[in-house]
Amino acid sequence: MRYRDLSNVALSQTPGAFLPKLDESLLTGLPPFSQLDRPQVRRILDHATSLRFDEGAAIFREGFDADHFYLLLDGHIRVVRSTEGGEQIIVLHVAPGQLFGIAKALQRETYPATAVAAAECIVLRWPTRLWDGFTETYPGFASESYKTLGRRLGEIQETLTEMATKAVEQRVAAALLRMLNQSGRKTEKGIEIAFPVTRQNISDMTGTTLHTVSRLLSGWQKDGIVKSTRKHVVVTDPHRLVMLSGTGGSALRS
Let me know whether 138 and 213 are in one domain: no
- Note the pLDDT of residue 248: 58
| Domains: count for the chain | 2
Let me know whether 247 and 179 are in one domain: yes
Let me know whether 102 and 198 are in one domain: no
- Whether 194 maps to a domain, the answer reads yes
- Note the pLDDT of residue 15: 40
* CATH at residue 171: 1.10.10.10
- Whether 1 maps to a domain, the answer reads no
Let me know whether 81 and 184 are in one domain: no
- Note the pLDDT of residue 141: 93
81: containing domain: 6-158
DSSP string, the chain: -TTTTGGGPPP-----S-GGG--GGGTTTSGGGTTS-HHHHHHHHTT-EEEEE-TT-EEE-TTSB--EEEEEEES-EEEEEE-TTS-EEEEEEE-TT-EE--GGGGT-SB-SSEEEESS-EEEEEEEGGGHHHHHHH-HHHHHHHHHHHHHHHHHHHHHHHHHHHS-HHHHHHHHHHHHHHHHEEE-SSSEEESS---HHHHHHHHT--HHHHHHHHHHHHHTTSEEEETTEEEES-HHHHHHHHTS-GGGS--
- Note the pLDDT of residue 249: 47
User: Would you give per-residue pLDDT tens digits along the chain (254 residues)?
Assistant: 233 333 333 333 444 334 445 778 878 889 899 999 999 999 999 999 989 999 999 999 999 999 999 999 999 999 998 877 777 888 889 989 999 999 999 999 999 999 999 999 999 999 999 999 999 999 999 999 999 889 888 888 888 788 888 999 999 999 999 899 888 889 888 999 988 899 999 999 898 999 999 999 999 999 999 999 888 899 999 999 999 998 754 455 54
